[in-house]
Amino acid sequence: MIKTEKVLHLKSSRGRKVRVVREHYLRERVPCFSALCQAGCENDGKVLPGDLTHYVVPDAEVVLNYLEVLELVELQGVVFTQTACQALHSKGRRFYNRLRNLLKDPRHDCVLFANEFQEFSYCPREKGESQEKWQTRCVYAAAVWYYNHLAGMMNLVMITEDLDAVSRFSSLNSGVYVIGVQEYLQSFWPALQTAQDLYGSVRQALQEKEADGSQREFPEHLPAQVLEAGIKSGRFVQGTLNVSKHRAQNEAFVTSDGLSSKSPDLSAGVLVAGSKSRNRAVHGDLVAVELLPKAEWRGKVTALSEGPADERSGDDNETKPMPTGRVVGILQRNWRDYVVTFPPRDAAQAQSRAAQRVLAVPWDRRIPKVRISTHQADALQDHRLVVRIDSWPSTSLYPNGHSVRVLGRAGELETEVQTVLMENCIHVPPFSEAQLREMPVNSPEKPWAADPAEVAARRDLRQTHLVFSIDPQGCEDVDDTLSVRRLAGGKLLELGVHIADVTHFVREGSLTDLEARSRATTYYLADRRYDMLPAVLSADLCSLLGGVDRYAMSVMWELDAQSLAVTKVWFGRTLIRSSYQLHYELAQALLNGEEAQVPELARLDPEERDAKLSELIQALETLTHIARHLRAQRDRGGALELEGVEVRAQLDQDKNITALVPRQPLEVHETVAECMIYANHCVASKIQEAFPYQALLRRHPPPRQELFSQLVDTARAAGFSIDTRTNKALADSLDRAVDPEDPLVNRLLRMMATQAMSQALYFSTGAQPEDQFYHYGLALDRYTHFTSPIRRYADMVVHRLLTAALQLERGAEPGKPPAGNKDMEELAEHINSRNWAAQRAQNLSTGLFQCLFFKERDPETDPRCVADAIIYSIRDNGVLVFIPEYGVKGPVYMRNKEGLVVAVGPDGTCEWQSGSVRRHSDHITTMSGRGSATFRLFDHITVRISVLSTNCHADTLTLQVISNQPHLGAAPQRPGSPRRSQLVQEVVRLAGEAQEKAARRPELSKEEREFRQSRTPNLYSLLEEIRELALMDPDAAARAGTVMA
Contact (CB, 8 A) for 818 and 806: no
Nearest partner of 459 among 577, 579, 572, 578, judged by Cα: 572
Smallest separation, CB 5 to another protein (Å) = 7
C-beta closer to another protein: residue 1 or 191: 1
C-beta closer to another protein: residue 244 or 688: 688
Smallest separation, CB 918 to another protein (Å) = 57
Nearest partner of 954 among 859, 864, 854, 852, judged by Cα: 852
* Interacting residues of 284 by C-beta distance below 8 A, sequence separation 6+: 240, 241, 242, 334, 335, 336
Smallest separation, CB 817 to another protein (Å) = 11
C-beta closer to another protein: residue 82 or 788: 82
Phi-psi region of 897 (alpha: psi -120 to 50; beta: other; left: phi over 0): alpha
Integer Cα distance of 656 and 651 in angstroms: 9
Smallest separation, CB 329 to another protein (Å) = 16
Smallest separation, CB 25 to another protein (Å) = 4
C-beta closer to another protein: residue 25 or 836: 25
C-beta closer to another protein: residue 23 or 860: 23
C-beta closer to another protein: residue 14 or 437: 14
Contact (CB, 8 A) for 191 and 372: no
C-beta closer to another protein: residue 20 or 812: 20
C-beta closer to another protein: residue 330 or 904: 330
Smallest separation, CB 283 to another protein (Å) = 23
C-beta closer to another protein: residue 5 or 860: 5
Contact (CB, 8 A) for 796 and 516: yes
C-beta closer to another protein: residue 26 or 865: 26
C-beta closer to another protein: residue 221 or 631: 221
DSSP 318: B
In angstroms, what is the C-alpha Rg of the chain?
34
Q: Is 174 helix (H, G, I), strand (E, B) or coil?
A: coil
Integer Cα distance of 38 and 57 in angstroms: 20
Smallest separation, CB 796 to another protein (Å) = 23
C-beta closer to another protein: residue 641 or 689: 689
Q: Is 826 exposed, middle or buried (0-12, 13-18, 19+ CB in 10 A)?
A: middle
Q: Are strands 54-58 and 155-160 parallel, antiparallel or unpaired?
A: parallel
Q: Which residues pair with 322 in a beta bridge?
A: 298
Smallest separation, CB 153 to another protein (Å) = 23
Contact (CB, 8 A) for 793 and 784: no
Nearest partner of 854 among 846, 652, 995, judged by Cα: 846
Smallest separation, CB 87 to another protein (Å) = 12
Integer Cα distance of 554 and 572 in angstroms: 5
Smallest separation, CB 117 to another protein (Å) = 4
Residues near another protein, by CB under 8 A: 1, 3, 5, 12, 18-27, 31, 89-90, 92-93, 96, 100, 103-104, 112, 114, 116-117, 693, 820, 822
Smallest separation, CB 3 to another protein (Å) = 5
Q: Is 501 helix (H, G, I), strand (E, B) or coil?
A: coil
C-beta closer to another protein: residue 90 or 949: 90
Smallest separation, CB 822 to another protein (Å) = 8
Contact (CB, 8 A) for 868 and 967: yes
Smallest separation, CB 93 to another protein (Å) = 4
Smallest separation, CB 16 to another protein (Å) = 8
DSSP string, 750-766: HHHHHHHSPPPEEEEGG
State residue 449 phi and psi, 5-degree precision. Answer: -135, 155
State residue 85 phi and psi, 5-degree precision. Answer: -60, -45
C-beta closer to another protein: residue 100 or 669: 100
Smallest separation, CB 40 to another protein (Å) = 17
**HSE-up of residue 162 (Cα within 13 Å, Cβ side):** 20
State residue 431 phi and psi, 5-degree precision. Answer: -65, 140
Integer Cα distance of 92 and 83 in angstroms: 15
Amino acid identity at 817: P
Integer Cα distance of 821 and 431 in angstroms: 30
Contact (CB, 8 A) for 908 and 963: yes
C-beta closer to another protein: residue 116 or 197: 116
Smallest separation, CB 110 to another protein (Å) = 13
C-beta closer to another protein: residue 116 or 540: 116
Integer Cα distance of 267 and 595 in angstroms: 61
Integer Cα distance of 546 and 786 in angstroms: 21
Contact (CB, 8 A) for 933 and 903: yes
C-beta closer to another protein: residue 33 or 147: 33
Integer Cα distance of 551 and 504 in angstroms: 8
**What sign does the dihedral 817-823-825-828 (CA atoms) show?**
negative
Nearest partner of 502 among 536, 469, 475, judged by Cα: 536
CA distance to 645, 731, 888, per residue, from 867 (Å): 21, 31, 10
Integer Cα distance of 694 and 814 in angstroms: 15
Integer Cα distance of 858 and 854 in angstroms: 8
Find how far residue 228's CA is from the centre of its chain.
32
Q: Which residues pair with 389 in a beta bridge?
A: 401
Smallest separation, CB 226 to another protein (Å) = 15
Smallest separation, CB 90 to another protein (Å) = 6
C-beta closer to another protein: residue 114 or 286: 114
Contact (CB, 8 A) for 626 and 493: yes
